Amino acid sequence: MNNINKFVARFILSATAVAFTATASLSAPITIPAGLNPGDQYRLAFVTSTTRDGTSANIADYNAFVTAAANSQTGLATLGTTWMAIASTGTVNARDNTGTNPFSDGSGFPIYLLDAASTKIADDNADLWDGSIAAPFATSEAGIEIASRRHAWTGTRADGTSDGIAYLGSPFGSVPLGRTFETSSSWVMEPTSVDTTSLYRLYAISGVLTVAPVEQVAEPGAIGVLALGLIGLGFARRRKRIS
Asked whether 77 and 90 are in contact (CB, 8 A), the reply is no
The mean per-residue pLDDT over the stretch 158-168 comes to 94
Architecture of domain 33-210: Roll (3.10)
Mean pLDDT of all residues in 8-27: 42
Cβ within 8 Å of residue 149, ≥6 positions away: 51, 200, 201
* Distance (Å, whole) CA 7 – CA 232: 9
Confidence band of 164 (pLDDT split at 50, 70, 90): confident
Query: How much of the chain exceeds pLDDT 90, in percent?
Result: 72
| Residues 119-149: tens digit of each pLDDT | 999 999 999 999 999 999 999 999 999 988 8
Question: What pLDDT does 27 receive?
Answer: 60
Task: Give pLDDT, residue 148.
Answer: 86
- Cβ-contact 172, 166 below 8 angstroms: yes
The full 3-state SS of 174-229, as one line of letters, equals EEEEEECCCCCHHHCCCCCEEECCCCEEEEEEECCEECCCCCCCCCCCHHHHHHHH
Length of the chain: 243
